[in-house]
Amino acid sequence: MAVCAICAHPAPLQCSACHSVAYCGQEHQQLAWDKHKRLCKILQKIERGEPTPDPRSYCGLCGKTKGPLRVTECCKKTVCDDYENYVMFTYARNSCSRNHDRYTTCSQHHQEGHRTDWKSCIKCDDGFEAELRAWYATNSYNFIGDIHPNPPTFSPKSCNECGRVVKQGAEPNAWLPGGILCKSCM
């Protein structure tokens, strides 16, 4: 099954307009919409075989064309040049540039100086929890068409206190010896 673009958990719900992204449920589909809506139009054109705008003319993560735009160091893709949106220590995920640089295998792999294609890198697989590895390789901070086609599978973890499934990539959480806590129980 496809994995959710927001949390990497199994995703039965597909975007009905472009059929190119999937979600675990409506909550994450709604969360994604603000950034997906512009890309969705482009993806629909691709699906219909219509001409699409030059990829250098818009951010590959949110579809904005107004800029300023820059090119990523790792994969040379066009992205919003928006580091200044991020306020130190807030951990907000409101900068396309920072999100790609911080939360993707593509960028981590490049920063580590690995030379192979990141999708087949065995060094990146090492010592990193499967759920987070899957998330880093498939989340919506990756560029469409450059998402890991075959991410690691994992068993979702449940909160030690309330038993709710914790979607590690998508929500704050805390690791304990022998367990995990969700954001409400932290």
Stretch that binds Zn ion, among 24-32, 45-53, 128-136, 171-179 (CB under 5 A): 24-32
Measure the CA–CA gap between 10 and 23, rounded to whole angstroms.
8
Segment 109 to 138, residues that bind Zn ion, using CB under 5 A: 109, 114, 121, 123-124
80 near Zn ion (CB under 5 A): yes
Stretch that binds Zn ion, among 5-13, 46-54, 87-95, 149-157 (CB under 5 A): 5-13
Single-letter residue type at 47:
E
2 near Zn ion (CB under 5 A): no
For residue 120, give the DSSP letter.
G
Cis peptide upstream of residue 68 (ω within 30 degrees of 0):
yes
Stretch that binds Zn ion, among 87-95, 107-115, 125-133, 148-156 (CB under 5 A): 107-115
Q: Which residue has the tokens 């579809």?
A: 63
168 near Zn ion (CB under 5 A): no
Which of 3, 22, 42, 59 binds Zn ion (CB under 5 A)? It is 59
Q: Under DSSP, is residue 172 helix (H, G, I), strand (E, B) or coil?
A: coil
31 near Zn ion (CB under 5 A): no
Which of 22, 32, 96, 144 binds Zn ion (CB under 5 A)? It is 96
Given a contact cutoff of 8 angstroms between Cβ atoms, the answer to whether 124 and 104 are in contact is: no
Nearer to Zn ion, 134 or 159 (CB): 159
If one counts every other C-beta atom within 10 angstroms of the C-beta of residue 153, the result is: 10
72 near Zn ion (CB under 5 A): yes
In 1-122, the DSSP E strands lie at 13-14, 22-23, 69-71, 78-80
Q: Which residue has the tokens 């993707």?
A: 104
The number of CA neighbours under 13 Å toward the Cβ of 116 is: 8
Q: Which residues of this protein are in contact with Zn ion, per CB under 5 A?
A: 4, 6-7, 15, 17-18, 24, 28, 40, 59, 61-62, 72, 74-75, 80, 96, 106, 109, 114, 121, 123-124, 159, 161-162, 182, 185
